[in-house]
Amino acid sequence: MNKDKLIIFFMIFMVSMLIMLQDKYNYNQSIELNFLDKELLSEVQNLRKENDNLEDLIELKKAKLEKEENNTVKNRELLEELRNETNDLKTILGYIKMQGEGIILKIDSKKDENISSIMEERGVLLKIVNQAKLHGGEAVSINNLRIGPYSEIVKAGSHININSKPIEQPYEIKIIGSGKKLSKYINYNNLIIGDLKTMYDLDVNIKLSSNIIIPKLIGVKDLNYIER
């Protein structure tokens, strides 16, 4: 009887120990899982925060890039505008060679005579240049000398000087611009040209040309910058 009790007691003890061990294992496992969950959760939160920071940084860089692109476009437009203005100014001042369509007007005597006095007295060259500029002439030359806004056309002895350079007849005036537009004003019905033909019996020839070349002014420096 005592032996049976001892066996039963031992069995109860063993079962109790097994239950305690199982509870301890479950407890430790629970603690371990809880710790892993917390670590994982913390890592996920950190990644989310880092992702948010990266998204903010991306948006910031994107906005900066768009701003730079807009500035680049504006700068290019401004540069192109300044370049066009500079080229227009160079054209007006006669600092660049010109090529294009226009009119060629040639004036000469039918006789063996010097007509510089007639040209100077009537102001023929200056008036034609002014009419050409008024009616769309982009560039003008006389005997292949470019006429600028400050050019001088004066009689010097038996000949005419342009920018202190002497020229002789025949006087060939080249005008670059719309030939159709210019020919409405620079034609044989023009009062100045008409007087040369009828009053002075001069040889005047007007023709349209699709390819006129006018050189730049001689003895001027290229215009690079405008100081303000």
Q: What is the pLDDT of residue 149?
A: 84
Let me know whether 83 and 117 are in one domain. Answer: no
Q: Compare 103 and 92 and report the one with higher pLDDT.
A: 103
pTM: 0.63
Is there a domain that residue 225 lies in? Answer: no
- Last residue within a domain, chosen from 69, 93, 117: 93
Same domain, 58 and 128: no
Do 81 and 107 share a domain, yes or no?
no
> Are residues 188 and 125 located together in one domain of the fold?
yes
Q: Is residue 10 part of a domain?
A: yes
> For the chain, how many structural domains are there in total?
2
Q: Of the candidates 46, 62, 93, which is a domain's last residue?
A: 93
Q: Is residue 219 part of a domain?
A: no
Report the Cα 24 to chain-centroid distance in Å.
82
Same-domain status, 106 and 38: no
The mean of the pLDDT values for the chain is 78
Q: Is residue 149 part of a domain?
A: yes
Q: Is the same domain home to 134 and 153? A: yes
Q: What is the pLDDT of residue 27?
A: 47
pLDDT per residue as tens digits for the range 9-46:
555 555 455 555 555 555 454 444 455 555 655 665 66
Query: How high is the pLDDT of residue 89?
Result: 77
Q: Are residues 85 and 192 in the same domain?
A: no
Q: The domain containing residue 127 runs over which residues?
A: 98-214
Take residue 85 and report the two structure tokens written for it: 């203005």
pLDDT reported for residue 58 = 66
Provide mean pLDDT across the span 97-104: 94
Would residue 220 count as lying in a domain?
no
Q: Is residue 227 part of a domain?
A: no
Burial level of 1, CB count in 10 A (0-12/13-18/19+)? Answer: exposed
d(CA 17, CA 42): 37
Are 113 and 206 found together in one domain?
A: yes
12 shares a domain with 85: yes
* 69 in the same domain as 138: no
| Radius of gyration, alpha carbons of the chain | 48
Average pLDDT (154-160) is 86
Q: Rounded distance, CA 80 to CA 96, Å?
A: 18
Q: How far is CA 121 from CA 64, 124, 148, 155, in A?
A: 68, 8, 22, 9
The span from the CA of 103 to the CA of 84, in Å, is 25
Picking from 93, 116, 133, the residue at the C-terminal end of a domain is 93
Q: What is the rounded CA–CA span in Å between residue 119 and residue 160?
A: 9
For residue 39, being part of any structural domain is answered with yes
pLDDT exceeds 90 at position 208: yes
For strand 171-176 and strand 202-214, is the pairing parallel, antiparallel, or unpaired? unpaired
| 77-84: average pLDDT | 78
Q: How far is CA 133 from the centre of its chain?
A: 27
